Amino acid sequence: MTIDSVRGAPDTPKAAEPELVQLLTPEGERIEHPDYPLDLGAEDVRGLYRDLVIVRRIDQEAVALTRQGELGLWASLLGQEAAQIGSGRAASANDMVFPTYREHGVAWCRDVEPLKLLGMFRGINHGGWDPKEHGFHLYTVVIGSQTLHATGYAMGVQRDGVLGTPSAGATIAYFGDGATSQGDVNESFVFASVFNAPIVFFCQNNQWAISEPLERQSRIPLYKRAQGFGFPGIRVDGNDVFACLAVTKKALENARTGQGPTLVEAYTYRMGAHTTTDDPTRYRLKAEEEAWKLKDPIERVKAYLVRGDMADAGFFQKVEDEAKQITRELREACLALPDPEPLSMFDHVYGEEHPLMTEEQEQFAAYLASFEEEAK
């Protein structure tokens, strides 16, 4: 037995350039795809550009805040802006989004205040927004768990009997390449498939599960797994916001009209660390990062806008200024976030009264109050 065979998969077929749906080249050239027509006006493109720039700036600010000890942790989306904004803008108000913990761009599209995301990573609470209000579920830290919640939710939509009507909403579940190894994700595929649930599985394949490369998760391209479960899988250029938008739109529409699940694999790259506690220089080559930099999701939209004469320097400056303003306010608001009251840990654990927890709460309140008495 060779070392290679112990490590596994020496014969893994590696597609040099994987087959993927692309509507905008890294150089900013628009290309058409027969299955995914996309008609965007200049205003729409400028809007997408603004989203991309702002979420990148918010992400950078959050990383800086973490480095300064103001957040306990942050999972950076750097490099994945197009996958998130494209798919996030594809979803309509009736759709329900189930994110993992890196979907800050999707949260932006669902009007979740960035401060709420920061609050969670700062340790103010474990969530903090109303998922129903935003059609955006809570961040889920346990890898892949939310894909089952999403599938069940989609089964509920199915049971409501609204599919095929204008009020139908689809469900979209986000997860990463590492999550595809989890039992829950595979169980989600089984349930979604056999019940034909109205769901889109949106996998952001960012190539790395902390330090483990894609080769440690799969011997076949991830989108091809869908076939084994009995529904379509599509790979899209995850750094191409147009392609992510068009492919997700179609998949969501298929779900809403009762045509069942789709797996979308957004082929992208996590430019930063897994989280702020991680050190990618220990496990990956600089050359790989440099190669992906050339596929930057924001630069190609900028090039397209410039080439098509859809935006001038004034527009880019305006977006830059707005992003700066948003992040400045975000930083101030983050630093001003008060710690929650200690007794708030007892809130919202149960919907109905729980006498023993109430007893502990009262005892702890009295204990805390005793310090105040002493201080007098």
Binding site for other proteins (CB under 8 A): 125-133, 137-138, 140, 142, 145, 147-157, 159-160, 183-184, 187-188, 190-191, 194, 347-352, 354-357
23: exposed, middle or buried (C-beta count within 10 Å: 0-12, 13-18, 19+)? buried
Which has the closest alpha carbon to 120: 98, 109, 104? 104
Of the pair 132, 282, the CB lying nearest other proteins is at 132
Distance of alpha carbon 178 from alpha carbon 17, whole angstroms:
21
Of the pair 320, 362, the CB lying nearest other proteins is at 362
List CB contacts of 260: < 8 A, sequence separation 6 or more.
Answer: 192, 193, 196, 197, 198, 231, 254
Buried b (16+ CB within 10 A) or exposed e, 233-259: bbbbbbbbbbbbbbbbbbbbebbbeeb
Bridge-partner residues for 208, per DSSP? 213
Q: Shortest Cβ distance from residue 126 to other proteins (Å)?
A: 4
Distance of alpha carbon 365 from alpha carbon 283, whole angstroms:
48
What Å distances lie between residue 106 and 218, 228, 232, 237, CA to CA? 26, 28, 23, 17
Bridge-partner residues for 251, per DSSP? none
Of the pair 36, 129, the CB lying nearest other proteins is at 129
Q: Shortest Cβ distance from residue 366 to other proteins (Å)?
A: 16
Distance of alpha carbon 82 from alpha carbon 202, whole angstroms:
13
Query: CA triplet 96, 100, 106: central angle to 5 degrees?
Result: 55
Active site members:
270, 274, 283
Q: Shortest Cβ distance from residue 159 to other proteins (Å)?
A: 6
Q: Shortest Cβ distance from residue 344 to other proteins (Å)?
A: 9
Inter-residue contact 223 to 265 (CB < 8 Å): yes
Of the pair 194, 366, the CB lying nearest other proteins is at 194
List CB contacts of 76: < 8 A, sequence separation 6 or more.
Answer: 59, 62, 63, 102, 270, 271, 272, 273, 275, 276
Q: Shortest Cβ distance from residue 64 to other proteins (Å)?
A: 26
Inter-residue contact 201 to 262 (CB < 8 Å): yes
Residues shown for the chain? 376
Q: Shortest Cβ distance from residue 198 to other proteins (Å)?
A: 11
Q: Shortest Cβ distance from residue 339 to other proteins (Å)?
A: 15
Cα 34 to the chain's mean position, in Å? 27
The string of DSSP codes covering 206-261 is -SEETTEEGGGT-SS-GGGHHHHHTS-EEEEETT-HHHHHHHHHHHHHHHHTT---
Bridge-partner residues for 174, per DSSP? 202
Inter-residue contact 57 to 336 (CB < 8 Å): no
Of the pair 144, 221, the CB lying nearest other proteins is at 144
Q: Shortest Cβ distance from residue 48 to other proteins (Å)?
A: 30
Of the pair 169, 233, the CB lying nearest other proteins is at 169
